[in-house]
Amino acid sequence: MTTATLERIPAAAETVEGSAQRSISLEFSSADEVHAGLEGAVAQLIEVAAKDASCGILVTRVHPGRYTVALDETVPFGETYESFAA
């Protein structure tokens, strides 16, 4: 079973261009689901990142089976970095 939570900017905080998805939290119950789930999340954020070309994507393993995929200004545009939470 895969659980995905999409975090969106609240309507009151929308920019002129409108609300954009900035991060996706994912939780997986089996290792078989991880690859496809992360690929899908990265693909969604590539579309968002391509609109303003100001940041890349950071995939963070929070703990086994739980990941966050987010736009990150410390990652160069066009790049995807991986990290492990402490």
Number of domains, the chain:
1
pLDDT at residue 12, as a whole number:
34
pLDDT at residue 52, as a whole number:
85
Q: Do the Cβ atoms of 41 and 27 come closer than 8 Å?
A: no
pLDDT at residue 21, as a whole number:
81
pLDDT at residue 8, as a whole number:
38
Burial readout 12-42 (b: 16 or more C-beta within 10 A, e: otherwise): eeeeeeeebbbbbbbbbeeeeebeebbeebe
pLDDT at residue 85, as a whole number:
86
Kindly give the confidence (pLDDT) of every residue in the chain, 86 residues in length, as a single tens digit, with 9 standing for 90 and above: 444 444 433 333 334 444 568 999 999 999 899 999 999 999 999 999 999 899 999 999 999 999 999 999 999 999 999 999 86
Range of the domain at 61: 2-11+18-84
